[in-house]
Protein backbone atom coordinates (compact mmCIF):
# COMPACT_ATOMS: atom_id res chain seq x y z
CA UNK A 1 0.00 0.00 0.00
CA UNK A 2 1.37 3.40 -1.07
CA UNK A 3 0.68 6.44 1.10
CA UNK A 4 0.42 9.90 -0.47
CA UNK A 5 1.35 12.64 1.99
CA UNK A 6 -1.29 15.37 2.17
CA UNK A 7 0.14 18.55 3.67
CA UNK A 8 -1.93 20.96 1.60
CA UNK A 9 0.66 21.64 -1.12
CA UNK A 10 0.64 18.62 -3.41
CA UNK A 11 -1.06 17.74 -6.66
CA UNK A 12 -2.87 14.83 -5.03
CA UNK A 13 -5.37 14.28 -7.83
CA UNK A 14 -2.89 13.62 -10.64
CA UNK A 15 -0.67 11.38 -8.49
CA UNK A 16 -3.71 9.44 -7.26
CA UNK A 17 -5.02 8.97 -10.78
CA UNK A 18 -1.63 7.71 -11.97
CA UNK A 19 -1.59 5.05 -9.23
CA UNK A 20 -5.16 4.08 -10.15
CA UNK A 21 -4.10 3.60 -13.78
CA UNK A 22 -1.31 1.34 -12.53
CA UNK A 23 -3.81 -0.56 -10.37
CA UNK A 24 -1.67 0.15 -7.31
CA UNK A 25 -3.42 0.31 -3.90
CA UNK A 26 -2.93 3.69 -2.23
CA UNK A 27 -4.36 6.06 0.33
CA UNK A 28 -4.08 9.80 0.96
CA UNK A 29 -3.54 11.05 4.50
CA UNK A 30 -2.33 13.97 6.57
CA UNK A 31 -1.90 11.84 9.68
CA UNK A 32 1.61 10.70 10.57
CA UNK A 33 0.47 7.54 12.34
CA UNK A 34 -1.50 6.38 9.29
CA UNK A 35 1.28 7.19 6.84
CA UNK A 36 3.83 5.24 8.90
CA UNK A 37 1.87 2.07 8.11
CA UNK A 38 2.41 2.44 4.34
CA UNK A 39 4.87 0.24 2.42
CA UNK A 40 6.07 3.30 0.51
CA UNK A 41 5.36 7.03 0.58
CA UNK A 42 5.04 9.69 -2.10
CA UNK A 43 5.72 13.32 -1.15
CA UNK A 44 4.23 15.52 -3.90
CA UNK A 45 4.66 19.26 -3.92
CA UNK A 46 3.59 22.44 -5.70
CA UNK A 47 4.33 25.96 -4.47
CA UNK A 48 6.82 27.57 -2.09
CA UNK A 49 9.62 25.66 -0.33
CA UNK A 50 9.23 27.87 2.76
CA UNK A 51 5.47 27.35 3.04
CA UNK A 52 5.83 23.61 2.47
CA UNK A 53 8.45 23.18 5.21
CA UNK A 54 6.36 25.24 7.64
CA UNK A 55 3.40 22.93 7.08
CA UNK A 56 5.47 19.76 7.36
CA UNK A 57 7.03 20.98 10.59
CA UNK A 58 3.78 22.23 12.11
CA UNK A 59 1.98 18.94 11.46
CA UNK A 60 4.79 16.66 12.62
CA UNK A 61 5.11 15.20 9.14
CA UNK A 62 8.78 16.20 8.92
CA UNK A 63 9.64 13.91 11.83
CA UNK A 64 7.47 11.15 10.38
CA UNK A 65 9.21 11.32 7.00
CA UNK A 66 12.65 11.07 8.61
CA UNK A 67 11.55 8.13 10.75
CA UNK A 68 9.97 6.38 7.76
CA UNK A 69 13.12 6.71 5.66
CA UNK A 70 15.25 5.66 8.63
CA UNK A 71 13.33 2.38 8.75
CA UNK A 72 14.43 1.64 5.20
CA UNK A 73 11.02 2.13 3.61
CA UNK A 74 10.95 3.67 0.09
CA UNK A 75 9.97 7.33 -0.27
CA UNK A 76 9.62 9.32 -3.50
CA UNK A 77 9.60 13.13 -3.61
CA UNK A 78 8.05 14.74 -6.71
CA UNK A 79 8.86 18.27 -7.97
CA UNK A 80 8.84 20.49 -4.83
CA UNK A 81 8.65 17.24 -2.88
CA UNK A 82 12.08 16.29 -4.26
CA UNK A 83 13.54 19.69 -3.34
CA UNK A 84 12.29 19.38 0.23
CA UNK A 85 14.48 16.31 0.70
CA UNK A 86 17.59 18.51 0.51
CA UNK A 87 19.31 20.79 3.02
CA UNK A 88 17.59 24.06 2.25
CA UNK A 89 16.43 26.73 -0.17
CA UNK A 90 16.69 30.47 -0.72
CA UNK A 91 13.10 30.70 -1.98
CA UNK A 92 11.33 33.47 0.01
CA UNK A 93 14.29 33.62 2.37
CA UNK A 94 16.63 31.00 3.79
CA UNK A 95 14.69 27.88 4.77
CA UNK A 96 16.03 24.62 6.18
CA UNK A 97 14.81 21.49 4.38
CA UNK A 98 14.46 17.91 5.54
CA UNK A 99 18.20 17.39 5.16
CA UNK A 100 17.92 13.81 3.97
CA UNK A 101 20.09 14.52 0.91
CA UNK A 102 23.11 16.79 0.43
CA UNK A 103 22.42 19.78 -1.79
CA UNK A 104 20.85 23.23 -1.88
CA UNK A 105 17.92 24.63 -3.87
CA UNK A 106 18.66 27.70 -6.01
CA UNK A 107 16.61 29.76 -8.47
CA UNK A 108 17.38 29.54 -12.17
CA UNK A 109 19.42 32.69 -12.89
CA UNK A 110 17.50 33.40 -16.09
CA UNK A 111 20.66 34.81 -17.62
CA UNK A 112 23.24 32.91 -19.67
CA UNK A 113 27.00 33.28 -19.33
CA UNK A 114 27.08 35.68 -22.30
CA UNK A 115 24.29 37.86 -20.91
CA UNK A 116 21.37 36.41 -22.82
CA UNK A 117 18.07 35.78 -21.09
CA UNK A 118 15.99 32.63 -20.95
CA UNK A 119 12.51 31.92 -19.64
CA UNK A 120 11.92 31.07 -15.99
CA UNK A 121 10.12 28.90 -14.94
CA UNK A 122 11.45 25.87 -16.77
CA UNK A 123 8.16 24.61 -18.14
CA UNK A 124 7.47 21.87 -20.66
CA UNK A 125 9.12 18.73 -21.99
CA UNK A 126 12.85 18.16 -21.69
CA UNK A 127 15.16 15.28 -22.59
CA UNK A 128 16.44 13.15 -19.74
CA UNK A 129 19.88 11.54 -19.56
CA UNK A 130 20.68 8.78 -17.07
CA UNK A 131 23.97 9.20 -15.20
CA UNK A 132 24.11 5.86 -13.38
CA UNK A 133 22.07 2.70 -12.98
CA UNK A 134 19.38 2.29 -10.33
CA UNK A 135 16.51 -0.07 -9.60
CA UNK A 136 14.08 2.79 -10.09
CA UNK A 137 15.42 3.32 -13.64
CA UNK A 138 15.26 -0.37 -14.52
CA UNK A 139 13.96 -0.90 -18.07
CA UNK A 140 13.26 2.83 -18.48
CA UNK A 141 14.60 4.31 -21.71
CA UNK A 142 15.93 7.86 -21.77
CA UNK A 143 13.08 10.03 -23.02
CA UNK A 144 11.31 13.33 -22.43
CA UNK A 145 9.68 14.30 -19.11
CA UNK A 146 7.40 17.17 -18.14
CA UNK A 147 8.86 19.91 -15.91
CA UNK A 148 7.36 22.96 -14.17
CA UNK A 149 9.75 24.70 -11.76
CA UNK A 150 11.66 27.92 -11.14
CA UNK A 151 14.17 26.42 -8.67
CA UNK A 152 16.58 23.52 -9.06
CA UNK A 153 18.97 21.58 -6.82
CA UNK A 154 22.56 22.82 -6.91
CA UNK A 155 25.73 21.99 -4.95
CA UNK A 156 24.56 18.42 -4.51
CA UNK A 157 26.42 15.18 -3.89
CA UNK A 158 27.00 13.79 -7.39
CA UNK A 159 26.91 10.23 -6.05
CA UNK A 160 23.12 10.52 -5.70
CA UNK A 161 22.51 11.88 -9.22
CA UNK A 162 20.68 9.28 -11.30
CA UNK A 163 19.42 11.41 -14.17
CA UNK A 164 19.70 14.95 -15.46
CA UNK A 165 18.60 17.37 -18.14
CA UNK A 166 19.85 20.73 -19.34
CA UNK A 167 18.13 24.11 -19.03
CA UNK A 168 21.07 26.45 -19.50
CA UNK A 169 22.44 24.84 -16.31
CA UNK A 170 22.58 21.16 -15.42
CA UNK A 171 19.32 20.20 -13.73
CA UNK A 172 19.23 17.14 -11.45
CA UNK A 173 16.12 15.33 -12.69
CA UNK A 174 16.25 12.03 -10.77
CA UNK A 175 18.11 11.48 -7.51
CA UNK A 176 18.40 8.47 -5.26
CA UNK A 177 20.14 7.24 -2.15
CA UNK A 178 19.20 3.79 -0.90
CA UNK A 179 15.45 3.79 -0.31
CA UNK A 180 15.07 7.55 -0.92
CA UNK A 181 14.24 8.92 -4.40
CA UNK A 182 13.34 12.24 -5.97
CA UNK A 183 12.10 13.38 -9.37
CA UNK A 184 12.17 17.07 -10.32
CA UNK A 185 9.70 16.52 -13.16
CA UNK A 186 6.15 15.22 -12.81
CA UNK A 187 6.21 11.48 -13.56
CA UNK A 188 2.41 11.36 -13.40
CA UNK A 189 2.34 13.81 -16.35
CA UNK A 190 5.26 12.30 -18.28
CA UNK A 191 3.55 9.66 -20.39
CA UNK A 192 4.98 6.12 -20.57
CA UNK A 193 8.34 7.09 -19.06
CA UNK A 194 6.73 8.57 -15.97
CA UNK A 195 4.31 5.69 -15.51
CA UNK A 196 7.16 3.18 -15.72
CA UNK A 197 9.12 5.10 -13.10
CA UNK A 198 6.11 5.13 -10.79
CA UNK A 199 5.62 1.42 -11.41
CA UNK A 200 9.25 0.76 -10.49
CA UNK A 201 8.87 2.74 -7.27
CA UNK A 202 5.74 0.87 -6.22
CA UNK A 203 7.46 -2.44 -7.00
CA UNK A 204 10.33 -1.47 -4.72
CA UNK A 205 7.83 -0.80 -1.95
CA UNK A 206 6.05 -4.11 -2.58
CA UNK A 207 9.27 -6.11 -2.67
CA UNK A 208 10.41 -4.68 0.64
CA UNK A 209 7.33 -6.18 2.25
CA UNK A 210 7.47 -9.58 0.53
CA UNK A 211 11.23 -10.22 0.86
**Which DSSP string corresponds to 69-112?**
HHTT--EEEETHHHHTTSSEE-TTS-EE---SSS-EEEE---B-
> Is 54 one of the annotated active-site residues of the chain?
no
Which of the residues 54, 106, 188, 207 is marked catalytic?
188
Per-residue pLDDT, averaged over 98-102, amounts to 97
β-pairing verdict for 88-89 and 104-107: parallel
pLDDT digits (tens, 9 = 90+) for 145-176: 999 999 999 989 999 999 999 999 999 999 99
CA distance 105 to 152: 5
Let me know: does 195 contact 21? Beta carbons within 8 Å.
yes
Position 211 confidence tier, pLDDT thresholds 50, 70, 90 = very low
> Is 122 one of the annotated active-site residues of the chain?
no
CA end-to-end distance (rounded Å), the chain: 15
Which of the residues 79, 91, 149, 165 is marked catalytic?
79
Which of the residues 122, 186, 203, 207 is marked catalytic?
186
pLDDT at 201: 98
pLDDT digits (tens, 9 = 90+) for 116-135: 899 999 999 999 999 999 99
What is the number of other CB atoms lying within 10 angstroms of the CB of residue 154? 16
pLDDT at 92: 84
pLDDT digits (tens, 9 = 90+) for 21-38: 999 999 999 999 999 999
Per-residue pLDDT, averaged over 85-91, amounts to 94
pLDDT at 115: 87
- HSE on the CB side for 64, CA within 13 Å? 25
> Is 188 one of the annotated active-site residues of the chain?
yes
Amino acid sequence: MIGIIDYGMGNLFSVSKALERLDVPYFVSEKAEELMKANGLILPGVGSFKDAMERLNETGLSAMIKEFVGLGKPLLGICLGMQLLFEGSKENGETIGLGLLTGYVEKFPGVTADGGRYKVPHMGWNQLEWTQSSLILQQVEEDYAYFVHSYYVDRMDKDILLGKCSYNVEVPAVVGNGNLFGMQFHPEKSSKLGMKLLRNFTELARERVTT
